[in-house]
Structure 1
């Protein structure tokens, strides 16, 4: 049975995002925080130039405020919640700096890849040190079995790979209106169900609060988007999603629950690898959502199909794990 606090967290984060966003969007417009569209992207996206970005700030604020208040007035702040908020805030800060440099300082590339990587690794290492202080299990569970692989001190490398990998995977996926808001809300809700199944109410509170905030954001981010989340939002979501899977000891299950993010990332790796080795492209454009656009699909069709793929994958993962 779902704890009423989870419903409060979901509803409060949703309402807070819906209330704050209409105040935030005009502010972004006045400050000229408009999105610059990549010239190498689909030509149809050029009309999105100037759409306010960094909207991820709003739902991050909504999530942090909601989780802190509900946790303080119920079971208290657990170590799990503090670690999740640290990762959410830390990766969000990296994204904010990247967006700020691109949008405000007008440097199209933002932070360099090396700067972002170093910052992400630092947050991942801090997370590992905090987990290590809680006698954390350093094995990686094999989905749908009782088996696990013990990594011991090498687990720190796994955490770095997992957090950096999925923060960038979600960031790569954020290329169409509503795509990440929808797929990420599905993924967080799926892990929320698993958290309830494991009686991990604190983690469930966090996941459902994130899902609620993202659905609130989707009201303004669905096609045609009035605001984009920017790297501020996407990097934070990816890092937090990876940490949720780690805390629930369902690390590898994220490959199925986050299948859309995995496919998007693989499409980029395959495209780059193929071009470097064979001087030929596999897709018309990567990430793969652009391939479908250039194949004649409407943006809305691509997004809804990807949502459906994410939903089916999440339902299969949860069903196989819970039933």
Structure 2
């Protein structure tokens, strides 16, 4: 790690740790409390009223840190701006969803169609910006020098990747500290790959997110004092996908983000099985709830999932740089 990446991690972490204690009481006074689904595990009902939308704090910390550090390093490039645009754009979608659910008391928030269309628009804009800087439209195969040229079809891949992973991280955000931990591991892994590729601007962004999430984890670990909400989870998923795209390590995200892939696959399998056979595969999906209902404590589930995320990320980074 160089000076700027260390600086980015430290500043984002410190800002989040300083701002969060000021923000949590504000959320409580404004009654921005989480509503817990009745069909979820009954043990989660005690979390009702826990402040949500805490993702605002680490997003503010990350954006401020990235702008300041890349400016100091003279690395405020188009790639940096694309990452900030995706982080902010998907965070805004999540914020609107949270605001409607928490403040306007409409439990479903944005409709699925509204959310999907907004996610697609940001992904398409990202492609247009990338196209303007002559970005390569090949799809790299991990651990090889093979690249499959997609040309204009790459726009469909970007839409699928950003929408898919923003929702995958959102689905994973169901236990205290689960996403904060797994996402910080994933961004740190891509930060290391960015340094290996000498993409310092992307590394600064990745480690800024890591720092912001580690600061947030102090308040989000079990028992959580605050939740990130869709504001944080959608932003993280979209940004993670874009980092993988800018590093031309798109498919490597399937390994580094293995936990998010498994969580999403469990939902798809559960829904598909119930529609086709009227039978469930898991006690509840996403799969972290299955383990809870199987008798695991929430903290045990989180630790195991963090461990899986760390192992898969370490394997991916090792095989890519060896």
Task: Report the TM-score when normalising by structure 2.
Answer: 1.00
Mapped partners of 1:118, 1:126: distance in 2 = 12
Per-residue Cα deviation, 1:128-150 (whole angstroms, up to 9, x for no partner): 00000011000000000010111
Equivalent residue number for residue 210 of structure 1: 209
How far off is 1:52 after superposition? 0.1
Gaps of 5+ in 1: none
Q: RMSD across aligned C-alpha pairs, in angstroms?
A: 0.4
Per-residue Cα deviation, 1:80-116 (whole angstroms, up to 9, x for no partner): 1000000000000000000000000000000000000
Equivalent residue number for residue 88 of structure 1: 87
Runs (4 or more) in structure 1 with deviation over 2 Å come to none
Equivalent residue number for residue 52 of structure 2: 53
How far off is 1:75 after superposition? 1.6
Equivalent residue number for residue 139 of structure 2: 140
Equivalent residue number for residue 227 of structure 1: 226
How far off is 1:76 after superposition? 3.4
Gaps of 5+ in 2: none
Equivalent residue number for residue 65 of structure 2: 66
Mapped partners of 1:279, 1:76: distance in 2 = 54
Per-residue Cα deviation, 1:204-242 (whole angstroms, up to 9, x for no partner): 000000000000000000000000000000000000000
Q: Secondary structure at the match of 1:227?
A: coil
Q: Secondary structure at the match of 2:139?
A: strand
Mapped partners of 1:65, 1:249: distance in 2 = 26
* 1:5 and 2:11 matched: no
Equivalent residue number for residue 289 of structure 2: 290
How far off is 1:73 after superposition? 1.5
In the alignment of these two chains, the number of paired residues is 322
How far off is 1:72 after superposition? 1.2
Equivalent residue number for residue 258 of structure 2: 259
* 1:238 and 2:245 matched: no
How far off is 1:25 after superposition? 0.1
* 1:276 and 2:267 matched: no
Mapped partners of 2:268, 2:17: distance in 1 = 36
Task: Report the TM-score when normalising by structure 1.
Answer: 0.99
